[in-house]
Amino acid sequence: RRVYVSPSCQTFMSSLESGIAVVPATMDFQESDGMESAARRVAHLLQRPEHLEKVDQLRRKFTRQKAAVDARLKTAVQTQLDDVKTGLNKLKNALEEVQEIKTSMSDIDAQYGSCQELERHIKQIRDAHWQHSQLAAAVDHLKHIYTVPTVVTEANEMIQNSNLLAAHQKLHELENTRDELLYQMHKSSEDTSDIRSVNQPLLRYFEPVKELSNTLGAQMWFILQRILHTVRNNPALAVTTFRIIEREEKADDRARERRKNTGFQAPDRPKSWREKALSTIDNSVMNRFEGIQLETRDVDKAWLARYLMNLRKIIIEDLVLVKTLSVPLFPPHYNIFERYVELYHKTLTSVMEDVGGERMEPGEIITLLGWLKQYPIMMLEEDLRVDVSKFDPLISPRYVKELE
């Protein structure tokens, strides 16, 4: 009976037989090569008859070397076997863990499939949760609604006692309550014209909150109008003022973001208190220059020299105060020293135009031209180190030539 053997199987058997045949041939070749190498080594060591006396010594030496090589080889083989055993154990453990993960994933898939039945009921749970959260928020807001008049009175007293930070905290809580109530009404109504009429009673009830905000703002603008005096005598009050301004700026940003996402516009937002604060500081600089007494020639012949001397004194004193005391108190992004330098220079330019517009005596012209030349040097003094060359000149070069 014949057995059919496929061509691929025949090829494998032939390669296996050739491999078996090659292995002994290779081993015989290595053995003969080793014998030849050993013979050359012995011939090199026993070149003369007297070298035969060292045969026993050489035999012991090579025996020790062979034993050392065998020990190292055994150790290396044992290390390799241990590493292979460790690798196989890790592969086995990894396979078991993969099987466990596979089983766990199958269980999760089965459980997830059973959870799909709950999807029909989840909408009811969500609706109930939303109603509960709304009721809880309403109860919490009721506490603030009932206490609005009391809280407004307390905040006004705090403003009168210069406790501005605590007053602002109460104002912030009242505004949050008002805005949240208006937002809830905004969400529950689709008709914007109707929501405006519905909001009117609530806005009238919270009208004292708006007045409280205006009162706090007026107190802060008064502080900023005298900011140099405040920085010198009550720096903590100045810091409090700017902390409140920065908090209001963040509240403005949140109101803009809410309007962008929901379409709800909070009342009286944005307040833009930072812009108002900087504008108030700008006006305080102009008032500072206007407060300098400008005498006339009839009262004092040296009126211009005295006036320019007062200008120099005020400019240096104020800018040194700003650089040393105000900079640490103001928020860094205000760049308050650079702002003051620019404001003083612009205001001084306007003052010089007014002075130059007067009819002046020759001595007064010399005094003015001398002061204009000293102005850049004055601003470069050690306490200021301000280069005014980046600004426009106080008086146009053409008019200076006319004076000369």
Give start and end residues of each alpha helix (H) in 263-390: 273-290, 303-321, 327-329, 336-356, 362-379
Q: Is the dihedral of CA 384, 390, 392, 395 positive or negative?
A: positive
The single residue listed with the structure tokens 């308050």 is: 336
Q: Is the dihedral of CA 216, 218, 219, 221 positive or negative?
A: positive
Contacts of 385 (CB under 8 A, 6+ apart): none
Chain centre distance of CA 399: 50
The single residue listed with the structure tokens 């104002």 is: 171
**Nearest CA to 327 among 337, 317, 318, 313?**
337
Distance CA 253, CA 272 (A): 10
Token digits of residue 75: 């150790």
**What global pTM score does this model have?**
0.61
Each residue's pLDDT, cut to its tens digit, for the chain (404 residues) gives 444 444 544 554 454 445 444 445 555 666 777 677 777 777 777 777 776 777 777 788 888 888 888 888 899 999 999 999 999 999 999 999 999 999 999 888 887 777 766 766 777 787 787 777 767 766 776 777 788 889 999 999 999 998 999 999 999 999 988 888 888 777 766 555 545 555 677 788 889 999 999 999 999 999 999 999 999 999 999 999 999 999 999 999 999 998 898 888 888 889 999 999 999 999 998 888 887 766 666 666 777 888 888 888 889 999 999 999 999 999 999 999 999 999 999 988 888 887 776 677 778 788 888 888 888 888 888 688 888 888 888 877 776 776 66
Distance CA 270, CA 348 (A): 34
Distance CA 311, CA 313 (A): 5
Q: Bin 185: left if φ > 0, else alpha if -120 < ψ < 50, else beta.
A: alpha
C-beta of residue 42 within 8 angstroms of C-beta of residue 54 = no
Burial of residue 319 (CB within 10 Å: 0-12, 13-18, 19+) is: buried
Residues in the chain: 404
**Nearest CA to 402 among 374, 377, 369?**
369
In 77-233 the beta strands, taken as DSSP E runs, fall at none
Burial of residue 121 (CB within 10 Å: 0-12, 13-18, 19+) is: exposed
